[in-house]
Structure 1
Amino acid sequence: MTEYVSTTPGLFPLPDWAKDDLSDLKGHQKHDLISGDEDEAITAAYEEAREDVIDVQQSAGLDRVVEGQLRWDDMLAHPLAVHDAVETRGIVRYYDNNNFYREPVVSGDLEFSGDVASELETAAELADGDDLQAVLPGPYSLADLATDEHYGDDAEFLGAVAEFLAGEVDAFPDVETLFLLEPSLVEEPPEDGEDERASEAIDRVASAIDADVVVQPYWGALEEKVYAHLLDADIDAVGFDFVANQDDNIYNLQEYGATGDISLGLADGQNTLVEDPEAIRDRVDWVADQLQVTEFETTYLTTNTETFYLPYGKYVEKLEVLAEAADLAEVTAP
C-alpha cells in the first residue's frame, strides 16, 4: 500500500517580523544580505525564525519537517556563497524570476564546510523526534549557478561540486529524506554526454547518505534523455512539476517509467491561490490513472517549487493543504 508523505522543497519565506528585524539589523534588502558573518543579534533572529517555521510545519501536520533555509540569502547558491574558497560577486537574476543571488566564483578547492550540517543539527533538536528532511541544491544546479575559476574544466568542476556536496551530506545528522533541488536540469538542460555526467554527479551525492533521496526538478519537465539518464542514478524518487507542465511529465513517466517512489509537485509554490485539499487528492488520482499503476511505495505530495516567493500567511496555508491532502489520500487509497 502506498504511503503518502506531505513535505516541501524547503526555502521558506521569512516570517514577517523577521523580515523587518533582519532588514533593520543588516541595513540591506534580503538578496543583498551577506551570509555567514552574522553577529549575535542577527543569529538570534534567524534562530527564532527557524523555530517559527518548524513549529508551523508541525502544527500543519507535515510528515517531513525541513530546516527552512531562511539564511539562504543566495537561494540555491548558498552552500557555495558561504564557502571560504568562493568569492561572491555581482547580483545575478535567479533563472527567470524577479529574485537574485550573488554570483559564487570558485577560486580554490571545494573542501568541507559543514554549514548546512550545522543548520540541520539545530533543526533536529527543534523537530523533537519528527521525521527530518534535508534540502540541498543538486550538484548540476549548483555547478550551473556558479562560475569556475579554479578547476578549468566543466566535467571536473561538476565532479568537484558533487564531491563537495557528498562531503557535506556525510556530516548530516540522521534524516529521513534528502531533497536535491535541480531546477537547472529543466532551465539549462545538459547536452549530450553532460546529461550522463549530471546523473553520475547526483548518484555520488545520493550515495553519501543513508536516507531516501528525492531529486526535485521544477519549472517544467525534463528532456527525455535527461530524464532517462537520471533514472540511472541510485535515487529513490524523481519529482515532477505538474503545475508548470503536465503533458511532458506524464509522457516521461509513460515512456521511461519511474523509480519505486515518486514526488508530485501539485500545489503552486509561487501562486497565492490556495488549493483545496480535495483538489490535490484528485490530482494524485489523475496521475495514477494516466500511468495505469496501482501504487508507488511512497508518494510525496509537495509544492512544485520552493515557497520563498509566497507571503508568509499563504505559505502556512499551503502547508496545511498538503498535510490534509496526504491524510485524505491515505484514507481513500484503494
Structure 2
Amino acid sequence: MTEYVSTTPGLFPLPDWAKDDLSDAKGHQKHDLISGDEGETVTSVYDEARAEVVETQVEAGLDLISEGQLRWDDMLAHPLTVHDAVDTGGIVRYYDNNNFYRDPVVTDDLTFSGDVAGELEAAAALTEEPLQAVLPGPYSLFDLATDDHYGDEETFLAAVADFLAGEVDAFPAHETLFLLEPSLVENPPGDGLDELASEAVDTVANATDAEVIVQPFYGALEEKVYAHLLDADFDALGFDFVTEQDQNLYNIQEYGATDDVSLGLADGQNTLLEEPEAIRERADWVFDQIPVTDFETTYLTTNTETFYLPYAKFEAKLEALAEAAALAEVTHA
C-alpha cells in the first residue's frame, strides 16, 4: 500500500504585505541590487516572509515543508543569476506564460555558490518538520541560460549538473529534493542530448541521500525523453495531470515508472480551488488507469509552482493537498 505525502514544488507567492515592503525597499536600494547586494532592509523582509510561508505550510498540515524560494525573482534561473560567474542579460519570457526572468549569461567557471544552501539553513531554523529542498533540474537550468564560456552544449550541460551537485552537497539535512524540469517538456532535448540530460539528473540526484523527485510540468514528456530519464538514479518521477492526462498515462503504461511517484493534481496557476475529496479521487483515477499501482510513496502536489496564485488562494491549495493526503491514507488503510 502506498504512503500518501502532501507537498508542493516550491516557488511560492509572496505574502501581500511583503510585496509592498519589497517594492519600497528595492526602490531605495536600486544600486545595491544591481551590484548583487540585497541590503539589510530587503533581507529582513525576505526573512520575515520566509518565516510566514513556513508557518503557513505547518498550519496547513503539509507533510513536507519548503523554504518557499521567495527570493527567486528570476524563477528557475535564480541559482545562476546570483552567481559571480554570470552576467544577467535581457528580459526573457518564462516559457509560455506572462512571467519573465533575466537571461543568465555564463561567462566563467560555475564554482560553488552556497546561495540556496543559505536559504535552506534559514528555513531549517524555523521548523522541526521534514524539510524539502527545491532546485531547477540541470536540463532546465541549462535551457534557461546562455553559455558564453564552455563552448558546446554537452560540456555546458555537464557543468550545470556539476554546479548543482556541488550546491546540493552543502545543503543542511533535508528529507526530499525536488528537481523541477519543465524544459524537458517545453524544449525537449534531441538525439544524444536526451541521454546526457538523464546523466545530468543522475549527477545531481547522487549528491544527496534524500529522496529525489524529478518534476516535469506544463505537459507530458516525449516518449524517448521519458525512457531515457528513467535510466537516471532518482526516487520519484512527477506527472502534470492537470495539463496533460493521456500522454502521461501512456508513458507509465508503456515504459513503467519509478518506485515512487509524484502526482500534480491541483492547479498551481488557476485560482479555482479543488476540494480535498476531488484531489483524492483524481489520484484514485490515475491508479485505476495503470497496471502497476504498488508505489511505495505517492506525493500529492500542485502541477506547477504556486508563484502565480494570490496568497490566500495559495494557502487554500496547501490545505486541500494536506487534507487530500490524509483522506487517501484513511481510504486505503
Q: By the TM > 0.5 criterion, same fold?
A: yes
SS at match of 2:126: helix
Counterpart residue number, 1:8: 8
Counterpart residue number, 1:235: 234
Structure 2: gaps of 5 or more residues = none
Q: Is the 8 A contact 1:35 1:81 kept in 2?
A: no
What does 1:58-77 align with in structure 2 at a 5 Å threshold? 58-77=58-77
Displacement of 1:70: 0.2
Going from structure 1 to structure 2, the CA distance change for 1:36 and 1:102 (only over 3 Å counts) comes to same
In structure 2, C-alpha distance between the alignment counterparts of 1:112 and 1:35, rounded to whole Å: 19
In the alignment, does 2:196 pair up with 1:197?
yes
Counterpart residue number, 1:185: 184
Counterpart residue number, 1:123: 123
Displacement of 1:35: 9.0
Counterpart residue number, 1:265: 264
Counterpart residue number, 1:102: 102
Counterpart residue number, 2:324: 325
In structure 1, C-alpha distance between the alignment counterparts of 2:104 and 2:112, rounded to whole Å: 16
- Listed one character per residue, the Cα deviations across residues 130-157 of structure 1 (whole Å, up to 9, x for unaligned) are 0000000000000000000000010000
In structure 2, C-alpha distance between the alignment counterparts of 1:244 and 1:114, rounded to whole Å: 34
Counterpart residue number, 2:296: 297
- Listed one character per residue, the Cα deviations across residues 200-232 of structure 1 (whole Å, up to 9, x for unaligned) are 000000000010000000000000000000000
Structure 1: gaps of 5 or more residues = none
Letter of the aligned partner of 1:154 in structure 2? E
- Listed one character per residue, the Cα deviations across residues 44-77 of structure 1 (whole Å, up to 9, x for unaligned) are 0000000000000000000000000000010000
In the alignment, does 2:93 pair up with 1:90?
no
What does 1:16-165 align with in structure 2 at a 5 Å threshold? 16-27=16-27, 36-127=36-127, 129-165=128-164
Displacement of 1:312: 0.4
CA RMSD of aligned residues (A): 1.1
Letter of the aligned partner of 2:206 in structure 1? S
Going from structure 1 to structure 2, the CA distance change for 1:34 and 1:268 (only over 3 Å counts) comes to farther
Displacement of 1:36: 4.4
Letter of the aligned partner of 1:18 in structure 2? A
Q: Give every structure 1 segment of 4 or more consecutive aligned residues whose post-TM-superposition deviation is greater than 2 Å.
A: 33-36, 292-295
Counterpart residue number, 1:275: 274
SS at match of 1:126: coil
Letter of the aligned partner of 2:227 in structure 1? A
SS at match of 2:278: helix
Q: Is the 8 A contact 1:135 1:179 kept in 2?
A: yes
Going from structure 1 to structure 2, the CA distance change for 1:49 and 1:36 (only over 3 Å counts) comes to farther
What does 1:210-221 align with in structure 2 at a 5 Å threshold? 210-221=209-220
Q: Is the 8 A contact 1:92 1:100 kept in 2?
A: yes
SS at match of 2:90: strand
Letter of the aligned partner of 2:135 in structure 1? L
In structure 2, C-alpha distance between the alignment counterparts of 1:73 and 1:47, rounded to whole Å: 15
In structure 2, C-alpha distance between the alignment counterparts of 1:43 and 1:122, rounded to whole Å: 12
Letter of the aligned partner of 1:19 in structure 2? K
Q: TM-score, normalised by structure 2?
A: 0.97
Q: TM-score, normalised by structure 1?
A: 0.97
Going from structure 1 to structure 2, the CA distance change for 1:159 and 1:281 (only over 3 Å counts) comes to same
Displacement of 1:296: 0.7
In structure 1, C-alpha distance between the alignment counterparts of 2:115 and 2:315, rounded to whole Å: 26
In structure 1, C-alpha distance between the alignment counterparts of 2:131 and 2:27, rounded to whole Å: 33
Displacement of 1:294: 3.8
In structure 1, C-alpha distance between the alignment counterparts of 2:88 and 2:140, rounded to whole Å: 17
Q: Is the 8 A contact 1:35 1:71 kept in 2?
A: no
Displacement of 1:2: 1.1
- Listed one character per residue, the Cα deviations across residues 111-143 of structure 1 (whole Å, up to 9, x for unaligned) are 00000000000111112x200000000000000
Identity of aligned residues (%): 77
Q: Is the 8 A contact 1:87 1:105 kept in 2?
A: yes
- Listed one character per residue, the Cα deviations across residues 222-261 of structure 1 (whole Å, up to 9, x for unaligned) are 0000000000000001100000000000000000000100
- Listed one character per residue, the Cα deviations across residues 167-191 of structure 1 (whole Å, up to 9, x for unaligned) are 0000000100000000000000000
Displacement of 1:295: 2.4
Going from structure 1 to structure 2, the CA distance change for 1:150 and 1:51 (only over 3 Å counts) comes to same
In the alignment, does 2:162 pair up with 1:169?
no
